[in-house]
Chains A and B, each alone.
Chain A
């Protein structure tokens, strides 16, 4: 049986009922959400089920939506069933005040560094992660730089001394 998006959706709603929602298919990839407390249950079910077999974790990343009050941060999992060659995208949203999400490291070894990276940039606290510390940024950093409240520098700002940066001034 072909593993179609409808079939996966049916399987998930059969198992979790109202626990999984917001099914969409942007650019043909099945995308859905669950409550953040259920993320491991959903991932485990997708991993173990005989028909689904989403056993390859392609990617974990986070997204910051400052306007969504109470669920500002999203953790996005990209999963791949290598046997039937189907990809799906699974999201959980969490509030920025207490961004606790269960860690998928027990299920996927590859989640280890990906979750560390996500923590590093968005401050998502992966509960149960064996070694949750910064990976790409310096350890002393005390903020999460990919959050939207840190805008990139305005390229037209004029209050900086350009001579310090090799521009303008009297080099010649």
Chain B
């Protein structure tokens, strides 16, 4: 007779009948730094609890010490898959506060950049849904085309991921010929790639069975949970900030707002794919509109607001007036109106809002970011309750959660 030694288990763990599983904070399935503590009965999720805040960097506090133009790099780091949208949203907020009217050409140039960013964002999200359902090749394949977008950013502003693109009132410089060439190359190549991407996944039997019915949410619940962007539209609500509160001359463009019905992973996938087609069409329209500017108008790339727009360096060194403005802007000598504004833009994953209170000082009195994925991630516990673990993983990636945005 052997002396049997038992492993000591915590009290009540055998009676409990469920397993606690820890997903994250650094788990490949979360695609970012946040934690899910999942209580499981076999393969089914009984309940879950989310912990966020691992990469909180106190942007709202930091912004209270910075002049407006130095806050742009902070916004880069919110949704870093589509930084240009965040940057433009911030510029639009400042312009609203300062009552600056941007020229049409600037608006259209901004639209091009924002739609490119949207394509890059959706492309990552949708291909990652593919990865999590076992199709790695599409992800690797489309990376090459996101690279083309990043090269366009690089040509326009000099950086790729955290772009810090544009200035209050316009852009730091005009688009170069190389930028236009690269944009043309992208517009020529990308539709074929997107078509192929859709061919690989949209009617793929395995992909459909994995995503249809996974992580659904009704329109009513989605609204109550504060969903916006593609996730809300997949549930069947056609709310799009670009249409409802047009900014940057989006009212001049003709595009449709794709909606889904069930709000599950498959619908979110389809909505994002359709939005990429719409974005392509918007970019084409913007290009056509830009070609109509002639003469001096075709060279405008910023509003004529010397008191807020940093002058070009070569002017600072050679022209008295530019030097004065440069000094005034950098030292915070230009007048800031007191007031409070709320400006929102349609970000990669929903309504990205900026609530700015200015007391007339050189930096904001209070700045609050409405980060869409922070708000809709709280629904995750509800929409994955009773689901299989593998469905919960796909739901996580198809919600397009970006830890940087969630934690601000």
Given the contacts A108-B226, A109-B378, A59 and B61 also touching, CB distance less than 8 Å? no
In the assembled complex, the Cα of A61 lies from the Cα of B353 at a distance in Å of: 12
Contact string against A for B residues 217-237, beta-carbon threshold 8 Å, 1 for contact and 0 otherwise: 000010111100000000001
B65, B97, B224, B351: the one contacting A109 at CB < 8 Å is B224
Instruction: Select from chain B the residue with minimum beta-carbon distance to A110.
Output: B226
B374 at the interface (CB under 8 A from A): yes
B355, B357, B365, B378: the one contacting A112 at CB < 8 Å is B378
Binds A, one of B267-275, B322-330, B335-343: B335-343
Tell me the interface secondary structure of chain A in the complex: mixed
In the assembled complex, the Cα of A78 lies from the Cα of B357 at a distance in Å of: 14
Chain A residues with CB under 8 A of B365: 63
Instruction: Select from chain B the residue with minimum beta-carbon distance to A147.
Output: B61
Binds A, one of B16-24, B52-60, B162-170, B305-313: B52-60
A135 at the interface (CB under 8 A from B): yes
Binds B, one of A7-15, A50-58, A95-103, A163-171: A50-58
Given the contacts A26-B341, A152-B62, A85 and B366 also touching, CB distance less than 8 Å? no
In the assembled complex, the Cα of A21 lies from the Cα of B103 at a distance in Å of: 38
Given the contacts A56-B226, A61-B355, A82-B223, A26 and B56 also touching, CB distance less than 8 Å? no
Chain B residues with CB under 8 A of A85: 244-245
In the assembled complex, the Cα of A85 lies from the Cα of B245 at a distance in Å of: 8
In the assembled complex, the Cα of A27 lies from the Cα of B370 at a distance in Å of: 18
B96 at the interface (CB under 8 A from A): yes
Q: In the assembled complex, how far is the CB of residue B95 from the closest CB belonging to chain A, in whole angstroms?
A: 11
In the assembled complex, the Cα of A146 lies from the Cα of B61 at a distance in Å of: 6
A4 at the interface (CB under 8 A from B): no
In the assembled complex, the Cα of A58 lies from the Cα of B224 at a distance in Å of: 10
Instruction: Select from chain B the residue with minimum beta-carbon distance to A85.
Output: B244
Instruction: Select from chain A the residue with minimum beta-carbon distance to B226.
Output: A110
- Quick check: B366 and A63 within 8 Å, CB to CB? yes
Chain A residues with CB under 8 A of B351: 58
Contact string against A for B residues 158-194, beta-carbon threshold 8 Å, 1 for contact and 0 otherwise: 0000000000000000000000000000000000000
- Quick check: B226 and A26 within 8 Å, CB to CB? no
Restricting to A1-55, which residues have a CB under 8 Å from any CB of B?
Answer: 26-27, 29, 31, 55
In the assembled complex, the Cα of A145 lies from the Cα of B58 at a distance in Å of: 9
Restricting to B328-384, which residues have a CB under 8 Å from any CB of A?
Answer: 339-342, 344, 351, 353, 355, 357, 365-366, 368, 370, 374-379
B154 at the interface (CB under 8 A from A): no
- Quick check: A59 and B368 within 8 Å, CB to CB? yes
- Quick check: A135 and B355 within 8 Å, CB to CB? no
Instruction: Select from chain A the residue with minimum beta-carbon distance to B341.
Output: A27
- Quick check: B53 and A59 within 8 Å, CB to CB? no
Restricting to B79-105, which residues have a CB under 8 Å from any CB of A?
Answer: 96-97
Chain B residues with CB under 8 A of A134: 53
- Quick check: B226 and A78 within 8 Å, CB to CB? no
Chain A residues with CB under 8 A of B366: 61, 63-64
Which of B96, B224, B365, B408 has the most chain A CB atoms inside 10 A of its CB? Answer: B224
Restricting to A95-148, which residues have a CB under 8 Å from any CB of B?
Answer: 108-110, 112-114, 117, 121, 134-138, 145-146
B64 at the interface (CB under 8 A from A): yes
Given the contacts A82-B239, A152-B61, A152-B65, A61 and B368 also touching, CB distance less than 8 Å? yes
B65, B96, B370: the one contacting A58 at CB < 8 Å is B370
Q: In the assembled complex, how far is the CB of residue A54 from the closest CB belonging to chain B, in whole angstroms?
A: 12
Given the contacts A27-B339, A78-B353, A136 and B53 also touching, CB distance less than 8 Å? yes
What 19 additional pairs, Cβ within 8 angstroms, besides A63-B357, A152-B62?
A27-B97, A27-B339, A58-B351, A59-B353, A59-B368, A61-B355, A61-B366, A82-B237, A82-B239, A85-B244, A89-B342, A109-B221, A109-B226, A110-B376, A110-B378, A113-B374, A113-B375, A113-B378, A121-B60
User: What are 23 inter-chain pairs, A to B, with CB distance below 8 A?
Assistant: A26-B341, A27-B96, A27-B339, A29-B342, A56-B226, A58-B351, A58-B370, A59-B342, A85-B244, A89-B342, A108-B224, A109-B379, A110-B226, A110-B376, A112-B378, A113-B374, A113-B375, A113-B378, A135-B53, A136-B56, A137-B53, A145-B61, A152-B65
